[in-house]
Chain A
Amino acid sequence: MHLTPDDWEVIRLSLKVAIVGVAVMLPIAFALAYVLARGRFPGRILLDAIVHLPLVMPPVVTGWALLILFGRAGPIGGWLDRAFGFTVMFRWTGAALAAAVMALPLMVRAMRLSIEAVDRRLEGAARSLGASPWRAFRTVTLPLSLPGVWAGLVLGFARSIGEFGATISFVSNIPGQTRTLPIAIYTALQLPDGESTVVRLASVSVVLSLGALIGSEWLVRRQSGRAHVL
């Protein structure tokens, strides 16, 4: 199988969109997971529901909501435009934003489970040994919840690589900017002679997803030899 320069452009763009989206979302997802796992405050259930919205809504609706918020006339998009002259519309940054929002619930779920599994008495032990709350978090809670962080990264990455509906309705289908793997496959399917492109790009999708899964499993095993993602 021989990949064309156009294929490579799509692959590079997809990787950039997924990696940047997931990386930027990572600290936000972890903070949300931590708050949902540990916090006891009014509105927690509402926050939980909002985080899960992209998982249960049709992706096209999520994309449309992003369009309303981040469009040049939207509340966030308008402010970004006025304050920084910056827009995500029809740019790869918009595709990354859509991918990150779609990946968020999966990332939060995985991380939350593993934060909930951390034995809080170990944090008490750390405190009694002289650790500040921050050091106890950094040296006990965080490392013990790493398997969930890896799981969240892999799920988020796989979800981002596969993102279609929210992306196409939010930032359209623009070669080099927002035409990621699934959108390129969809585009090729519309063409009478697109068959071979579909086969090539679909194979690449499978390889990327499997690679992420196997890579993270290897990382986790190397780290602890015990906990695992799969």
Chain B
Amino acid sequence: MSFDVTVEKRLGEAEIAVSFRSDAGLTALFGPSGSGKSSILNMIAGLLTPDSGRVVVGGELLFGNGVDLRPEARHAGYVFQDARLFPHLKVRANLLYGARRGVSRIGLDEVVDLFGLDHLLGRWPRTLSGGEAQRVAIGRALLSNPRFLLLDEPLASLDQARADEIMRMIERVRDELKLPILYVSHNPAEVERLAACVVSVRR
């Protein structure tokens, strides 16, 4: 089982409640903006504590039954919607930030090759375009020795050509690295192309 997630959380007026099990390589969380998809990812990553529920990823219990692993112990490769690169570190240092958490299945050279980052390594994040920043963010997550990936609308800020390019890279990661991926999107075309299992989230 890749993902076995049941979480409930009240955030002010909104109530988030979701339950799904998936054995697919890439599972999509599909729903409109504001339906709490990012909060669900945060709960799986350990950045937000559910009021109740259970989170099991790849057979490992991350939350529930009195267990609440700290974010750094969950081995999530989290790619945020806004890339969230560290503004005070150059691209190379951003990529290597999580690399001390053990040896990843993929090394810096491979990530640089795969995502075409060679000419970006010495740049500051603020000088990157949206697509470049997103590629760096995915590379940074992959290099942190993750056991699974959480991708939060990684194509949202990109034009079509760039989005296609990143989608191809996500497919390669899905097929070659065999990491369970949870992919958040509000775009039906992306979801149809990438996901073998779709979880619909409503408001």
Please tell me if the beta carbons of A125 and B84 are within 8 angstroms of each other in the complex.
yes
Main secondary structure of the interface of B (DSSP, over half): loop
Question: What is the CA–CA distance of A204 and B76 in the complex, to the nearest angstrom?
Answer: 57
Query: Which residues of A are at the interface with B, using a C-beta cutoff of 8 A?
Result: 121-122, 124-132, 139-140, 143-144, 224, 226
Task: Provide 18 A-B residue pairs closer than 8 Å at the C-beta atoms, listed in order of the A residue.
Answer: A122-B84, A122-B86, A126-B86, A126-B97, A127-B46, A127-B71, A128-B71, A128-B74, A129-B98, A129-B101, A129-B144, A130-B75, A130-B100, A130-B101, A130-B145, A131-B97, A131-B98, A132-B72
Q: Which of B72, B78, B88, B145 sits near A143, CB closer than 8 Å?
A: B88
Query: Which residues of B are at the interface with A, using a C-beta cutoff of 8 A?
Result: 42, 45-47, 70-72, 74-78, 80, 84, 86-88, 97-98, 100-101, 126, 140-141, 144-145
Q: Which residues on the A side are within 8 Å of B42 (C-beta)?
A: 124
Residue of A nearest to B42 (CB): A124
**Chain A min CB distance to B84 (Å):** 5
Given contacts A127-B72, A139-B86, A224-B88, 7 further A-B contacts (CB under 8 A): A121-B84, A122-B84, A127-B71, A130-B101, A130-B145, A132-B72, A140-B86
Q: Which residues on the A side are within 8 Å of B77 (C-beta)?
A: 128
The answer to whether A125 and B80 touch (CB under 8 A), given A130-B72, A130-B101, A131-B72, is: yes
**Chain B min CB distance to A122 (Å):** 6
Q: Which residues on the B side are within 8 Å of A139 (C-beta)?
A: 86, 97
